Amino acid sequence: MGYVIRLEKLSKTYGSRRGLVDLDLTVGEGEVFGYLGPNGAGKSTTIRLLLDLIRPTGGKAWLFDRNPSEHAVDLHRRIGYLAGDFVVNPRQRVSECLTFLAALRGGVPRQRIEDLAGRLDLDLSARIKTLSKGNRQKVGLVQAFMHRPDLLILDEPTSGLDPLVQQTFLDLVREARAAGQTVFMSSHIMTEVEAVADRVGIIREGRLVALEAVARLRDHAIHRFDITFAGPIDQSAFAALPGISDLTIDGPTAQFALAASPNDLIRVLARHEVASIRATEPDLEELFLAHYQPADGVQENSNA
């Protein structure tokens, strides 16, 4: 599998302010990559560097094995981009705007635009200036997806969308992946990224602080268990389990959190008569918030 995005020590400073620091990252063909971080972390900076909208102060980037600044025109043909601050001519009607953008991309079947607009519940006849923020965002989504680009780069794509439309967006991403397209999407919301991404990178204060497959994140995350046995049980049966915390034993019921593979737990359970077992979804949000905390002793003012 080839790399669609390859970054080596990619860095950007704005004067003395840090934008992005030594980012090493690859995204493979057909992969959905979620790029997570709080406001000001450096997500848009990374995306603008990928698209050659700004130039790096250090390191290198390759898209489809080519340098974004030397091959910008060719590369942009293969990319669908939704900017975090997507703006178009407010006087145009949605349909005119999309027809214009479609022509720039060498033409898109009218039916494709109508299908996407229908699914997102976007009125093609409305004037852009009359649209709400969410409806403008839908215009941005249609123009990013409509020409079925090899690579979709989406900066906070669900911003302003209501939950139903967010689901439609996630379906579009799944369809893109099924068609072999690659998706790089930024977000500050773990749950939406988790729903579609194969891998996630977490960026904080300009640095990549975690990079992992979503499936592995789930394995590492904390699961909560509530287990009832046929009769009273002894605390010692559980206390020695690696990764266990918050253990409460009440007669035949055990409640605890487990930050490890459930293998050892299953061995313990096999020695008892289990009446019922309830495991709650791992809380990935908690895991991510832990990465968002400022490093100990570091007083960095990202908005200075």
Ligand X SMILES: Nc1ncnc2c1ncn2[C@@H]1O[C@H](COP(=O)(O)OP(=O)(O)OP(=O)(O)O)[C@@H](O)[C@H]1O
- For residue 68, count CB atoms less than 10 angstroms from its CB and return exposed for 0-12, middle for 13-18, buried for 19 or more: buried
Closer Cβ to ligand X, 263 or 303, answer by number: 303
CB of 268 to ligand X, least distance (A): 43
Q: Which is nearer to ligand X, 49 or 75 (CB)?
A: 49
Stretches 11-19, 56-64, 92-100, 282-290: which one binds ligand X (CB under 6 A)? 11-19
Q: Is 13 in the site for ligand X (CB under 6 A)?
A: no
Scanning 32-40, 124-132, 175-183, 248-256 for contacts with ligand X by CB under 6 A, the matching segment is 32-40
Per CB under 6 A, the segment of 35-43, 66-74, 96-104, 127-135 that binds ligand X is: 35-43
Kindly write out the interface string for residues 245-284 of this chain, putting x where it contacts ligand X by CB under 6 A and - elsewhere: ----------------------------------------
Is position 294 an interface residue for ligand X (rule: CB under 6 A)?
no
Kindly tell me which residue out of 23, 31, 45, 128 binds ligand X, with binding defined by CB under 6 A.
Answer: 45
What's the rounded Cα separation, in Å, for the pair 302 and 304? Answer: 6
**Region of 36-44, 90-98, 120-128, 225-233 interacting with ligand X (CB under 6 A):** 36-44
Binding flag, residue 41, ligand X (CB under 6 A): yes
Q: Which residues pair with 20 in a beta bridge?
A: 12
Q: Closest separation between CB of residue 153 and ligand X, Å?
A: 13
The residues in 54-93 that bind ligand X, with binding defined as CB under 6 A, are: 84
Query: 224 Cβ partners below 8 Å, 6+ apart?
Result: 255, 256, 257, 258, 279, 280
Tell the smallest beta-carbon distance from residue 233 to ligand X (Å). 48
100 touches ligand X (CB under 6 A): no
Rounded alpha-carbon distances, angstroms, from residue 48 to 43, 88, 123, 223: 9, 18, 30, 37
Binding of ligand X by 193 (CB under 6 A): no
Q: Are 225 and 256 in contact (CB under 8 A)?
A: yes
Closer residue to ligand X, CB minimum distance, 3 or 292: 292
Give the interface with ligand X as residue ranges (CB under 6 A): 14, 17, 19, 37, 39-45, 84, 302-303
